[in-house]
Amino acid sequence: MLKIENLKVGFSTPEGVNPALRGVSLQLAKGESLAIVGESGSGKSVTALAITRLLQTPPAVYQGGSIFFEGQDLLKASDAELRKVRGGRIAYIFQEPSTSLNPVYTIRSQIAEMIQLHRPDVHDIDSEIIHWLDAVGIADPKSRLHDYPHQFSGGMQQRVMIAMALSARPDLLIADEPTTALDVTIQKQILDKLSQLQRDLGMAVILITHNFAIISGLARHVAVMYRGEVVEYGESRQVLREPRHPYTKALIACIPRLGDHRRRLPTIGSLQQ
Amino acid sequence: MSNDSKITPSTPTGRILRRFHADPLARISVLIIVLFALFAGGTALLSSFNLNWPFDPNITNLEQKLEPPSSHHWLGTDNLGRDVLSRMLHGSSISLTVGLIAVFVSLTIGIVVGAAAGFFGGITDQILMRSVDALLCFPTFFLILTAVALLGPSLLNIVVVIGLVSWTGTARLVRAEFLTLRETEYVKGARVLGQKSWTIITRHILPNAAAPILVTAVLGIPDAILSEAGLSFLGFGVQPPQATWGNIIADGKTYLLDAWWLIMFPGLAILIASLSFYLAGDALREAAESRN
Amino acid sequence: MTSFILRRLALSVVLLFIISIISFFIVTLTPGSPYPWGELNPKISAEVKANFRKKFHLDRPLPEQYAFIMKDLFKGDLRSIKDDRPVMGKIMERLPATLALNFTAILISLSFGTLLGVYAARNAGRWQDIVCSFVAFLFIALPGFWISYLIAIILVKGFGVPILGTHSYGIAFPNHLAAYLDTIWHLLVPATILALGGIASQSRYLRATMIGTIREDYIRTARAKGLPEETVLYKHALRNSVRPLVTGIGLLLPALISGSVIIESIFAYPGMGRLGYEAVLERDYPTLVALNFVVAALVLLGNLLSDILYAAVDPRVRLE
């Protein structure tokens, strides 16, 4: 379904173009789940945003490669074609739910906008919205339809984002660090919910995270990124047990484990010689 | 990093120079301002020695009245045969003088009021800021016109009145700077060290506010010039026989269709002078606000 | 929402009081003769002067003068020195015309200012943005009286197009609609010239705010939803950038009335600006006091209304 081949993206600065992605290749089949793991600056978010050309150009520059979605190269697609894919086929949820929702519109109007845009055949929009809010685990959705984003807690806001993304019934959901900004207790709830929804809807999911600990259970495959390249790729269980690349090993070693009696938690220094 | 060894990248002066280096509009504006200052200053200097160039602005010559621009009179003559170019040069010194002094007056009042409000806070702040809000409700030009008409149109009255009406922007700016900087570590540190309020104000707070105040000043000059031109047009500016851009237009308005040069040239002069100050001020503001 | 309105109302009352004090002091404290016929005119006897002073309360201490003038103002008794007609009456006569002119000018400012501002923000840094900036500054630097005069004379004398006054002279209209349209036509040219400065300032404020808003996360979300760029800008970004437009109206109103002093005279438009100009020429200081006060009060009202409008648009403000 999705095939990224040798994607190269850079950011132009007064001193030249800084490479952010140095030839990333990934693929994903229908209904599959993939996690992209790496530290800050590894290029994982850039990859995610690049898929539907959501990066601001300038300063971003697409330097090469291709992104095939259902046979179409999105890097060469027209604006109109791209807009059909965005939201309707590939949906996103982002890291900061509190700033990712428009503060001056009710959640009803924002979700309705999504439905009206991508599923014009739906006639009873309110019921549809309530259905999705319920599906993500928001209590008493009917009474909260006309609330504003700031009236929800962080975890709730993220659930609203998920509901909004899913209401267009996309084939692929890209979740960019969806729980990084949330409480640890909420994190698990959201991730479990995402996992359940993925199973129920048979949707493909790409999960971006820097936290190796959360990918098991949600992502079947994992791609480890370091400095703009994919350094390891495989089934998550396999990679976790037998990491091959030194960076992956270091990342896994960083996961704090209950019962670990070491005094200092390991960190990752620079792998550059 | 930068190849420019002469211009240091991150000092304010460096930023300003770089910005103007890169922006052609800004460079043209500065050029025009410099020319304007030269003309105005030069004319004032020459006339203080009773030397008028190219002609005496006040010599009337009815045989040569309403002549179109020619090699003899580059910008033509007015209804009394006076040379328009000479009158415009003299008018330029009035415009620049009004611009500079009125802005000086408004800056002074603005800084004092803003500092008082920001530094002392509380009731003082409330009263001063509500007064600013109230003053802003008045139509500026109408207020100026009223005051000048009642006080009598002289250069002194005009600059003072314009200054008295335009200080609000500076006051708000200075107050904002004071409010933020009052809470910063180095001001608190200075207080702990026992420095007097006055010292704190002048040595710590004002220098930080200098850049936006400068921008307000530069942007205030064309406002003053336009007000003065409006006053002169209505007859309440600096009085004849002194030439001002506004009163050249006023004299010439009855002859618009016959002698277009009387209205076009002074009008264009006002437009170009004001525009240059606005563009330069805007470039300054962008330079001051940017980080490189 | 109601508590917000009440708070703003209370603030407005305080401001109105300060405005009245400023109006009073401007006129009565300025030195110079209050008599229309000059201090030293030998034809006027001391007795006439004394009577004049008594009639206009000029022999009482200042705070009492203030109280008298305010009382007269609100009771509608304040009389013009020029023709002894109640000043409020004269102002009220001109009010509808002034409101029509300024309202039109505000509409023009907001609509074109918004279009220009969004266009500039969208193309920030590119040549389109620079052209928009240049045009904006051009509008502000344009001397109003100059361009009005040029346009008025050229259109009227050069092309014979009737734009002066409020209706075309000497033409009978077939029906009310035609007459109404004719009035609107006469309104349009002065209102547009008045609006030029407003277009410029509104577009600059909006551009600055929009550039910031466009960088916000929810705009990225809107694009990720697949919305066309126009919708993203005009529906999502604009609604969050309204603040400068609203504060802009507050600054625009007094500027419009300032500008109308000259422009109304040139276009022979019977509004308050023209009344003010005539009052200045005649040193009619009760009229001047009242006019300054009424205008400032109207501006205050305008600010109040636009703040309420803003609170209706942006729900976060109601909590302030």
- Encode pLDDT of B76-98 as tens digits: 777 777 888 888 888 888 889 99
Most confident of A108-117, A238-247, C95-104, C299-308: A108-117
Min distance A119 CA to chain C CA atoms (Å): 12
Q: Which of A99, A102, A107, A150 to mutate to test the interface with C (most CBs of C within 10 A)?
A: A102
Yes or no, beta carbons of C146 and B249 under 8 Å apart:
yes
| Residue of chain C with shortest Cα separation from A110 | C222
Q: CA-to-CA distance for B252 and B243, rounded, in angstroms?
A: 12
Residue B4 backbone zone (phi > 0: left; psi -120 to 50: alpha; other: beta): beta
Q: Which residues of chain C neighbour A86 with C-beta distances below 8 Å?
A: 223-226
The predicted pLDDT at position B227 comes to 92
Yes or no, beta carbons of A100 and C225 under 8 Å apart:
no
The predicted pLDDT at position B3 comes to 45
Q: CA-to-CA distance for C19 and C17, rounded, in angstroms?
A: 5
The predicted pLDDT at position A227 comes to 86
The predicted pLDDT at position B284 comes to 85
CATH for B11-57+72-289 is: 1.10.3720.10
Q: CA-to-CA distance for A187 and A180, rounded, in angstroms?
A: 8
Flag the least confident range among A107-116, A207-216, A242-251, C69-78: C69-78
Most confident of B8-12, B18-22, B128-132: B128-132
What sections of C237-284 are H helices per DSSP? 238-240, 242-266, 272-281
> What percent of chain B shows pLDDT beyond 90?
16
Q: Point out which residues pair with A174 in neighbouring strands.
A: A92, A206
Yes or no, beta carbons of C228 and A83 under 8 Å apart:
yes
pLDDT digits (tens, 9 = 90+) for A126-141: 898 998 998 888 888 8
Enumerate residues 6+ apart whose C-beta is below 8 A from B78: B65, B66, B84, B87, B248, B251, B252, B259, B262
Q: What are phi and psi of B59, to 5 degrees?
A: -70, 125
Segments of A70-182 assigned E as strands: 72-73, 90-93, 172-176
- Tell me the mean pLDDT per 10 residues along chain C, length 320: 81 85 70 52 61 62 69 63 72 85 91 92 86 92 88 75 66 71 82 91 91 90 91 89 81 85 85 84 75 84 82 67
pLDDT digits (tens, 9 = 90+) for A5-47: 888 888 888 788 888 888 888 888 888 889 998 888 888 888 8
Q: Which residues of chain C neighbour B282 with C-beta distances below 8 Å?
A: 133, 137
Average pLDDT over residues B147-158: 85
Yes or no, beta carbons of A87 and C225 under 8 Å apart:
yes
Average pLDDT over residues B282-287: 84
Contact A86, A69 (CB under 8 A): no
Name the one residue in this structure whose structure tokens are 């009440």.
C6
The predicted pLDDT at position A165 comes to 92
pLDDT digits (tens, 9 = 90+) for B177-218: 877 777 776 666 766 666 666 666 667 667 777 888 888 999
Q: CA-to-CA distance for C258 and C240, rounded, in angstroms?
A: 30
CA distances from A61 to A10, A42, A58, A75 (A): 5, 17, 7, 11
Average pLDDT value over all residues in chain A = 85
Q: Which residues of chain A neighbour C214 with C-beta distances below 8 Å?
A: none
Yes or no, beta carbons of C299 and B222 under 8 Å apart:
no
The predicted pLDDT at position A271 comes to 52
Q: CA-to-CA distance for A147 and A151, rounded, in angstroms?
A: 6
The full length of chain A comes to 273
Nearest to A102 among C224, C236, C313 (CB): C236
The full set of domain ranges for chain B reads 11-57+72-289
The predicted pLDDT at position A141 comes to 87
CA distances from C37 to C40, C49, C68, C275 (A): 9, 10, 23, 20
Yes or no, beta carbons of A54 and C314 under 8 Å apart:
no
Average pLDDT value over all residues in chain B = 81
| Residue of chain C with shortest Cα separation from A164 | C225
The predicted pLDDT at position A262 comes to 67
3-state secondary structure of C200: helix
pLDDT band at B27 (very low <50, low <70, confident <90, very high): confident
Nearest to C299 among B137, B256, B278 (CB): B137
| Residue of chain B with shortest Cα separation from C282 | B149
Contact A174, A48 (CB under 8 A): yes
Q: What are phi and psi of A167, to 5 degrees?
A: -65, -15
pLDDT band at B2 (very low <50, low <70, confident <90, very high): very low
Q: Spell out the long-range contacts of C255-258 with Cβ–Cβ below 8 A and sequence spacing 24 or more.
A: C255/B139, C255/B140, C255/C197, C255/C198, C256/B139, C256/C102, C256/C105, C256/C106, C256/C194, C256/C195, C256/C198, C257/B139, C257/B142, C257/C98, C257/C102, C257/C295, C257/C299, C258/B139, C258/B140, C258/B141, C258/B142
Contact B99, B158 (CB under 8 A): no
Q: Is the pLDDT of residue B14 over 50?
A: yes
Q: Which of C122, C123, C220, C221 to mutate to test the interface with A (most CBs of A within 10 A)?
A: C221
Of A168, A273, A215, the C-alpha closest to A44 is: A215
